[in-house]
Amino acid sequence: GENVEQHPSTLSVQEGDSAVIKCTYSDSASNYFPWYKQELGKRPQLIIDIRSNVGEKKDQRIAVTLNKTAKHFSLHITETQPEDSAVYFCAYNFGNEKLTFGTGTRLTIIP
């Protein structure tokens, strides 16, 4: 069955430092791993995604790494800024393109 663990649940980082959030999944058939950012009261916004044939993907200050052997993928945010404060969710597809979401990480950037 599908299961995804996300850690940590809360993370406070000094502005300018890096933040890393990790998710571990159980279904080896998964081939798509997105990360979403959600601000209070708003919809989740896709910030980066990776497919199983790639080990790492970068987009400016954001990167995602995937370790298929260990079944985990991580979000890396460098040079953090106050506007990075939000809740971040990992997700992965479990059959028929349904997405299962992680439990979320509340990231706070300390000015």
Partner 1 sequence: GAVVSQHPSRVICKSGTSVKIECRSLDFQATTMFWYRQFPKKSLMLMATSNEGSKATYEQGVEKDKFLINHASLTLSTLTVTSAHPEDSSFYICSARDQGLPLHFGNGTRLTVT
83 binds partner 1 (CB under 8 A): no
85 binds partner 1 (CB under 8 A): no
41 binds partner 1 (CB under 8 A): yes
Q: Which is nearer to partner 1, 28 or 103 (CB)?
A: 103
Give the Cα separation of 104 and 106 in Å (integer).
7
Burial annotation 12-45 (CB, 10 A radius, 16+ → b, else e): ebeeeeebbbbbbbebeebeebbbbbeeeeeebe
Please state the closest distance from residue 103 (CB atom) to partner 1, in A.
5
42 binds partner 1 (CB under 8 A): yes
**The token pair that represents 96 in the structure block:** 């028929």
43 binds partner 1 (CB under 8 A): yes
- Of 55-63, 65-73, 77-85, 102-110, which segment contacts partner 1 by CB under 8 A? 102-110
Segment (H or E) for 13: strand 10-14
For the chain, how are helix, strand and coil distributed in percent, rounded to 5? 5, 55, 40
Residues in contact with partner 1 by the rule CB under 8 A: 32, 34, 41-46, 49, 89, 93, 96-104
